[in-house]
């Protein structure tokens, strides 16, 4: 990963950070919001098959927004911090989707408020690998930005883009790498918000939960 790495040590992680850890030999990353005292709020798909550790025992692991200790969150992997407010050039330089965005992060207290509210309400809707995943959850907590397209409520994330991009790379040998990066840039929610894209809106967390409950 070299200079492109966002890897950090446990001493460097701060409340309100969007953190992630690679799973299954870098095939996908698991994302969450670091709270404090080794606690992480995350959005998980289905129920966890792992036995909870002593700290996590008694916490709901039946899917949706849940809390976890940092060790269970990392699952033996390294700790990385998702970067916000990166330049367009830096975004293009990132080889892998899902590690940074040009969107600006709100102050940690806003991030923690959203994450805690969604945890209490389990209010992030139904997990969808492409439209509504652990990365979109963390990006929402950091920015309050959602993308409302095709009457669906979703947040464009690098992780979902990387699946689309993989298809592009297969279809277009040669220029595939460029297509991938352009796709990433186009879908970056920060760029879209800065362009004044109608589909990208800042939505208060109470409203988001109401919208999800009504959907
Ligand atoms: Zn644990």
Write the pLDDT tens digit of every residue in 173-212: 333 344 444 555 667 888 888 777 777 888 899 998 887 7
Quote the ligand 1 centre to 54 CA distance (angstroms).
7
Residues paired with residue 36 on neighbouring β-strands, in sequence order:
39
Residue, of 39 and 168, whose pLDDT is higher: 39
ipTM of the prediction: 0.98
Predicted local confidence at residue 123, as pLDDT: 84
User: What does the alpha-carbon distance between residue 159 and residue 97 come to, in Å, rounded to a whole number?
Assistant: 6
Quote the ligand 1 centre to 38 CA distance (angstroms).
9
Number of separate helices (H) and strands (E) present in the chain: 8, 8
C-alpha pair distances (Å), 68 with each of 75, 125, 132, 208: 11, 19, 20, 23
Quote the ligand 1 centre to 32 CA distance (angstroms).
14
The answer to whether domain 8-214 has CATH 3.90.1720.10 is: yes
Q: What is the DSSP string of 182-207?
A: HHHHHH-HHHHHHHT-TTEEE--HHH
Predicted local confidence at residue 19, as pLDDT: 96
> Are 68 and 55 a contacting pair, CB within 8 Å?
no
Q: How many CB atoms lie within 10 A of CB 71?
A: 13
Quote the ligand 1 centre to 56 CA distance (angstroms).
4
């Amino acid at each position: 990963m070299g200079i492109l790495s966002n890897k950090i040590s446990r001493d460097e992680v701060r409340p309100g950070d969007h953190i992630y850890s690679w799973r299954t030999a870098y095939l996908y990353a698991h994302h969450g919001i670091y709270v404090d005292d080794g606690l992480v709020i995350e959005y998980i798909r289905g129920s966890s098959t792992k036995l909870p550790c002593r700290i996590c025992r008694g916490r709901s692991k039946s899917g949706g927004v849940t809390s976890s200790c940092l060790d269970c969150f990392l699952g033996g992997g390294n700790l990385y911090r998702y970067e916000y407010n990166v330049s367009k050039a830096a975004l293009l330089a990132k080889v892998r989707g899902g590690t940074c965005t040009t969107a600006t992060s709100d102050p940690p207290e806003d991030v923690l408020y959203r994450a805690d509210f969604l945890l209490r309400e389990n209010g992030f809707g139904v997990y969808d690998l492409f439209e509504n995943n652990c990365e979109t959850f963390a990006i929402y907590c950091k920015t309050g930005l959602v993308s409302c397209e095709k009457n669906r409520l979703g947040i464009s994330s690098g992780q979902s883009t990387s699946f689309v991009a993989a298809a592009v790379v297969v279809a277009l040998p040669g220029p595939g790498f460029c297509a991938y990066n352009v796709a990433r840039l186009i879908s970056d929610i920060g760029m879209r918000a800065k362009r004044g894209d109608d589909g990208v809106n800042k939505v208060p967390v109470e409203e988001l939960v109401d919208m999800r409950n009504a959907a």
